[in-house]
Chains A and B, each alone.
Chain A
């Protein structure tokens, strides 16, 4: 058998299994979705929120699984969205330091999730699968949910492209130009939490944040154009999901692990291709996006 035929056979072999077909589809879409959303998250210096939110959702995941297996995603979704809006509110209002608040809220939620799963067990995915991702036991509902979230996210970005770009680049000037920054940011947080929730099963709680960051950072190293970065990051995320899923199958390790390791490999390749200077382009991606504190007391603005 020639090398090319052997390679083709290797690729098509796992596709005879329905679980792998579903896993491959969901991993590829998950990678694309996280790569897409990740552009906005990293450029806003909000990687830490993505990391915290995935841990917060794990708490909701565990608590909801105690109620009912069919309630897991609705419960975790409510928990995640509440956490996202709370984080957004804290970040904007500066009642306490944003890092401290997020650290407390999300890690406490994660710890609660660990405690609940350890004590009561789960009626849904196992502890390890929730943490590191798994291609087994993916239900049609999860695929529908992932596709729904992906379509909603793409539609939001498509129809609000310039407002989103403006608020990401310069929220204060965007607000002065008539963009409803608070609503735009709340929508982004909502879509972020739904994206994390929808991709949790395959990527895993502890590794979702990496897939929010790696494709976007690699894309940033390659291009100086926002539009191209969005396309590249989505493509890199999808490729990592696809390749990582195959590697997961052949290596017999959790899917999230191999997807993230594939992303890390792509990062190294991009670094070798673009050189160390390309890293300079990513400077500032870890700066926390925080508006200047708002003045207090009630306004009196009339027209």
Chain B
């Protein structure tokens, strides 16, 4: 993976306070996205991960602070699978084609549209399920479908909300490789995750938040007992295995309820 954060800044949040109905979720947060970013946002439930992503997207307006985007910046978003209406009547092809909202939007796909969607589905390894209903896919295929939709708009910045939530180990592994490939192709990536060992430890750059930014750096700098205690409010053991930090979930000492 290439170094992160040395390219030009394409999106800046400066001293923003943002939340819902006057209740701030994030206070005085500054976060810069570079053109070669590959960052994981880590934090407990309710810490403001999704709020931060929605602010980056422009879906949430900050109560204070400034958001600055590079002119012509193209962003694409991959939602959490749990938030999707899986009963919605769309096939994989129809879902991916939604992203083509510029220019002609007629119901019938043009030859170029069909070629582009087929190529994108092929690139992501889900060409054979193009005519299936979205509910009939596996978790990994569903995630790939939304990434295909996002990539069809040729984004500079790809934002993913919990991309490995609810998927198995093999799918998570494939997802990491896919995202690394996209990053190599020049797409800036920001994602949220609560999966410290399976996802966060494999990313080149991490930010931990809990209402504010707690730490920012490489996994070795961020995945430490001190930082995790300040982020999650509980002391977590961190070991090193094959040069990577591994967080030990010790439910005898941490977690919402002690297990005897």
Contact = CB atoms under 8 A, between A and B. Distances in A.
Interface string B148-170: 00000100000100000000000
A43 B88 contact: yes
A281 B87 contact: yes
A162 B87 contact: no
A142 B189 CA distance: 55
Most buried by A among B21, B61, B73: B61
Contacts of B66: 300-302
Contact of B68 (A178, A282, A301): A301
B107 A173 contact: no
B191 to A, nearest CB: 14
Main secondary structure of the interface of B (DSSP, over half): loop
B81 interface: no
Contacts of A162: 97-98, 100-101, 105
A301 B102 CA distance: 23
Contacts of A283: 87
Interface size class of A (residues with CB under 8 A): 35 or more
B78 to A, nearest CB: 8
A90 B190 CA distance: 33
A274 to B, nearest CB: 14
Contact of B77 (A157, A173, A225, A230): A173
Interface residues of B, number: 48
A168 B197 CA distance: 36
B71 interface: yes
A220 interface: yes
B62 interface: yes
B79 A220 contact: no
A99 B95 CA distance: 30
A265 interface: no
A280 B89 CA distance: 12
Given A161-B105, A166-B98, A295-B19, A225 B90 contact: yes
B60 interface: yes
A295 B84 contact: no
Nearest to A163: B101
Contact of B99 (A157, A177, A294, A295): A177
A207 B120 CA distance: 45
Contacts of A115: none
A157 B91 CA distance: 19
10 smallest CB-CB distances across A and B, nearest first, come from: A299-B61, A224-B133, A297-B63, A176-B57, A166-B98, A176-B77, A162-B105, A300-B66, A161-B107, A301-B67
Interface of A: 43, 94, 157-163, 165-166, 168-170, 172-179, 220, 223-227, 229-230, 280-285, 287, 292-303
